[in-house]
Amino acid sequence: MMNDDFTIGRLARETACKVQTIRYYEEIGLMPQPLRTAGNQRRYGPSHVARLAFIRHGRELGFPLDAIRQFLSLSDEPDRPCEAADRMARAQLQAVESRIARLQSLKVELERMIEQCKGGRIAECRVIEVLADHAECLHENHVEPV
Amino acid sequence: MMNDDFTIGRLARETACKVQTIRYYEEIGLMPQPLRTAGNQRRYGPSHVARLAFIRHGRELGFPLDAIRQFLSLSDEPDRPCEAADRMARAQLQAVESRIARLQSLKVELERMIEQCKGGRIAECRVIEVLADHAECLHENHVEPV
DNA sequence: CTTGAACCTCTAGTCGCTGTAGCTCCTATG
DNA sequence: CATAGGAGCTACAGCGACTAGAGGTTCAAG
């Protein structure tokens, strides 16, 4: 009926996801347990392809698996308001924006460091110097994880 | 002589680093084993403060511990050319730049997703839709890890 | 001398996979 | 029909850089 005839390898190719990753998603309950052949091999159908593509796309957009789990359960209730999905997307946007800001300030500092290094001996190396002495930085606020 | 009289907690406060993290750095050989009191507690001196500050600053600039390990061994040989340090800093800058580029394209896509969502039901939610169908994305290239 | 904050070791957990070892299964060819 | 080998299976270890907790000990102030 639902012709579940894709092997895990086929599913992996279809969705550009590694085989082990699919098994991992199953283990943590993100992908449902598929049918098995008599010889215990997994067999998938189109619904699995769609679900895995959804997950992978979410990951590519930087959502953590937990957010994706929530998106998936939201998408199971098409009549409910999409407020929650919207909120999660906005939160992710915020997270992305703050990481960009953080990386921009790192970039500036690294550039400054590199530019001032005239390629002499370690003793005069600005790169090492700046690392050694935080006071030489312009930015005090590079604290959250990169 | 070198008055090693900072406790680990004091060192942690001094460098804005957690106590466990200091012990972890010692475990992986990034920080040297300090003196111990008769009661087996660690006692640190100014050189430890400097070294840990160096490490933390490197981390804040996004360098992996391995790069920091190299910086540290470079700074032990002040007469050698600083080429290697320079190269590492440039590599880090490149990494930062490519992460910024990647995040910028995520940002655009998230904004598009959010902007088109009119806040109705899940069934019409653009956020869910875009996640479900990769073809709705403009960017094909969001593949590397965030 | 007592209290309690800070220290100690050891272990396990985080996140999202990735890799390996040592099997079994499936299918295509001879 | 036998066999080869690619693909599948489970189970577990490892990555990076910490972080958290249990359960015990030490230190310094009062």
Per-residue pLDDT reduced to its tens digit, A39-82: 999 999 999 999 999 999 999 999 999 999 999 999 988 888 88
Domain contains A28: yes
User: Per residue in B81-122, pLDDT tens?
Assistant: 888 899 999 999 999 999 999 999 999 989 998 988 877 889
Find the closest chain A residue to B55 by CA distance.
A131
In this prediction, residue B120 carries a pLDDT of 81
Residue B89 shares a structural domain with residue B57: no
Quickly give A93 CA vs D12 C1' distance in Å: 37
Does residue A144 have a pLDDT over 70? Answer: no
Q: Which of residues 9-68 of A touch strand D (CB under 7 A)?
A: 9-10, 12, 19-20, 23, 40-42
Domain contains B141: no
> Quick one: tokens of B73?
């061994």
Choose one of B34, B52, B75: the last residue of a domain. Answer: B75
Q: Give the pLDDT band (50/70/90) at residue B2.
A: low
Q: Which amino acid is at B37?
A: T
Domain contains B91: yes
Average pLDDT of B47-57? Answer: 95
A78 touches strand C (CB under 7 A): no
Choose one of B27, B43, B75: the last residue of a domain. Answer: B75
Does residue B140 have a pLDDT over 70? Answer: no
B10 touches strand C (CB under 7 A): yes
Does residue A34 have a pLDDT over 90? Answer: yes
Q: Hey, what long-range contacts does B73-79 have (CB within 8 A, 24 or more apart)?
A: B74/A122, B74/A125, B74/A128, B75/A122, B75/A128, B75/A132, B77/A122, B78/A121, B78/A122, B78/A123, B79/A121, B79/A122, B79/A123
In this prediction, residue A1 carries a pLDDT of 46
Choose one of B52, B75, B98: the last residue of a domain. Answer: B75
Residue A12 shares a structural domain with residue A59: yes
Residue B39 shares a structural domain with residue B14: yes
Mean per-residue pLDDT of chain B: 89
Residue B70 shares a structural domain with residue B14: yes
Residue B39 shares a structural domain with residue B70: yes
Domain contains B142: no
Find the closest chain A residue to B82 by CA distance.
A122
> Quick one: tokens of B56?
């933390």
Tell me what percent of the residues of chain B surpass a pLDDT of 70.
90
Number of domains in chain A: 2
Residue A93 shares a structural domain with residue A49: no
**Residue with more model confidence, B13 or B137:** B13
The domain that contains B42 carries what CATH number? Answer: 1.10.1660.10
User: Per residue in A77-101, pLDDT tens?
Assistant: 888 888 889 999 999 999 999 999 9
Residue B122 shares a structural domain with residue B71: no
Residue A89 shares a structural domain with residue A52: no
Q: Which helix (H) or strand (E) holds A36?
A: strand A35-36
**Backbone Cα Rg of chain B:** 23
Q: Give the pLDDT band (50/70/90) at residue B18.
A: very high
Interface confidence, given as ipTM, is: 0.83
Quickly give A88 CA vs D13 C1' distance in Å: 34
Domain contains B3: no
Provide the domain limits for residue B132. 83-136
Residue B42 shares a structural domain with residue B68: yes
Average pLDDT of B14-24? Answer: 96
Residue A94 shares a structural domain with residue A130: yes
A79 touches chain B (CB under 8 A): yes
Domain contains B111: yes
CA distance A102 to A65: 23
Residue B30 shares a structural domain with residue B50: yes
Residue B46 shares a structural domain with residue B65: yes
In this prediction, residue B145 carries a pLDDT of 52
| CA proximity to B7, closest of B48, B41, B50, B51 | B41
Domain contains A78: no
Sign (positive or negative) of CA dihedral B140, B143, B144, B145: positive
Q: Hey, what long-range contacts does A98-101 have (CB within 8 A, 24 or more apart)?
A: A98/A144, A99/A146, A99/B103, A100/B100, A100/B103, A100/B104, A100/B107
C-alpha distances in Å from residue A2, one per residue of A12, A33, A48: 19, 15, 11
Average pLDDT of B15-34? Answer: 96
In this prediction, residue B98 carries a pLDDT of 92
Domain contains B145: no
